[in-house]
Structure 1
Amino acid sequence: MSSAAGSPKVSPRTVTPAVETVLAFVNTREDGSGRQELFADGDSFAAWLAEYDAFGGETVATDADAAAARELRDALVTVLLAHAGDEESLGEPLQRAERHLRRAGSLYPLATVITAGGVELASPQAGVERAFGTVLAAVTTFAQSSDWGRIKACRNPPCHFGFFDRTRNGGGLYCSPGCGSQVSMRNFRRRQRQESQEPPQV
C-alpha cells in the first residue's frame, strides 16, 4: 500500500499489491459455477483470514463479522460492476453501495504511516476491524490513481468475478473469453426468440 516519492510510474496493466488485496477480498463469493461462499459464517470467514497475513492472519470472527464482510464485499462488487458499465448496477444500487462504503470508511478509519521510504495507509485497528480497514486502504490507495476504473467485476451473471482490465483501451467487460462467449450466446438466443415471436410482415 506504499507510494515512494520519485518511484517510476506503474504501467496501467500492472497488478499492484493494492489491486491484489481488493480482488482477493471480492472474489470470495459463490457464483453458481463451482466457487463456494467463503464468508458463509464466522468460522469460514476466520479460516479465510488465517490464510492472508495482509488481512491480519489468524483472527477470531463471529457470524456477525461474516455478515459485515459480505455487505462490504457486495458494495465493492457493485462499484466494480459499474466500472464495467453493468446497467443493472447503476442508479439506486450504486448509490446504496456508495453509501455503505462511506459508512464503512467511518467505522474503519485509516492511519497515515510516513517513513523515509514512502507513505502508506494502514489500519490502526486489530482483528476483523483491521481486515476491513486493510481492504479500504487498498481501495483508497489504488483509487487515487487514474486506473481505478480498471478494477472491474465480470458482467456475466452470476459470475461477477473481480478482475483487473489489462486491455490497452480499458474496455474489457468479462473476466475471461468464456464468460464473454456465454453472454454473446444468451443474447443471440434472446434475439432468436424475439424474432420468432414477431408477427409476420404483410
Structure 2
Amino acid sequence: MPPRTIERSPLAQPPEADVVLQFVNTHPAGPHRLKERFGSAQDLHAWLLENAMGSQTTRVTEADAAAARELREALITVLLIHSGDKGTTPEVLAQAEEYLRLIASRYPLITVVTASGASLETAQTGVPGLFGTVLANATQLAQAGVWDRVRACRHDPCHFGFFDRTRNSSAVFCGTKCGSRASMRAYRQRKKDLAATTPT
C-alpha cells in the first residue's frame, strides 16, 4: 500500500474504500443475490486468488475462513451505524468494536514514513496480510475524515456496503431498489400499527 494523502472531493470514492468494500461485500447480500465468498477455506482461497492477494501455495484454513466472516460482520455492524440503522443496538456495536480491537492486536500494522507522507502497512502475508490490509485502509479512511461515508445498506437483509457520494452525506441505501423496498415496508408497518390502535 503506497503512501498517499487523501485530498479529494468527498464525492469521489477513495481507493481505500474500494479495499474495505471489496472485503465487506463478500457476504450473501439479499437483493444482490451474491453468494457467500468466505464459506470455507477453499472459498476464501479462491477469493484471495481472484483478488491477487494470494497464490496457489497460500495456506488457508477453516479457522481463517471463520475469522474472515467474523471480521466482516464486525465491519458491517460499524457500517450500519454509519447509515443510522436503528436495528443495530449499542450492545451489538460495542461487541463489534471490541472484536475489532482484539483482531487489530493480532494483526499489527507498521508505519511507513516517506518525504511525501506516511501510511500504514501490514508486515504479514496471506490471510493475516489480508486482515491487516483491510484494517490499514479503514484507519486511513478515518484519518482522511471519510470513514463515516463507508456504509452498509440499511435495508435488511441487504447490508451491501457502499461509499456515500452525496453532498449532504445522506445516503443510507445502496440503491433505489432497496430504498423503495424499505419505504414500502415502513408504510405497511404504519398501516398495521394504525389498524391495531383504531377502535372497531
2:11 to 13, 21, 44: 13
Range with greater deviation from structure 2 (115-124 or 100-109): 115-124
Counterpart AA for 1:71: E
Residue pair 2:76, 2:152 contacting (<8 A) in 1 also: yes
Give every structure 1 segment of 4 or more consecutive aligned residues whose post-TM-superposition deviation is greater than 4 Å: 1-4
| SS across alignment from 2:159 | coil
State the match for 2:199 in structure 1: 200
Identity %: 47
Counterpart AA for 2:157: P
TM-score (norm 2): 0.92
State the match for 1:63 in structure 2: 62
Residue pair 2:3, 2:117 contacting (<8 A) in 1 also: yes
Residue pair 2:30, 2:157 contacting (<8 A) in 1 also: yes
State the match for 1:171 in structure 2: 170
CA distance in 1, matches of 2:20, 2:105: 19
CA distance in 1, matches of 2:154, 2:181: 11
Unaligned runs of 5+ in 2: none
Q: Which deviations, in whole Å up to 9, do the C-alpha atoms of 1:51-81 show, x marking residues without a partner? A: 113x445532111100000000000000000
| CA shift in 2, pair 1:125/1:8, >3 Å | closer
Q: Superposed, which structure 2 residues align to 1:35-114 within 5 Å?
A: 35-53=34-52, 55-56=53-54, 58=56, 59-114=58-113
Residue pair 2:153, 2:161 contacting (<8 A) in 1 also: yes
Counterpart AA for 1:150: R
Unaligned runs of 5+ in 1: none
CA distance in 1, matches of 2:198, 2:141: 52
CA distance in 2, matches of 1:108, 1:167: 33
* Alignment size in residue pairs: 198
CA distance in 2, matches of 1:72, 1:57: 22
| SS across alignment from 2:170 | coil
Counterpart AA for 1:84: S
CA distance in 2, matches of 1:99, 1:144: 20
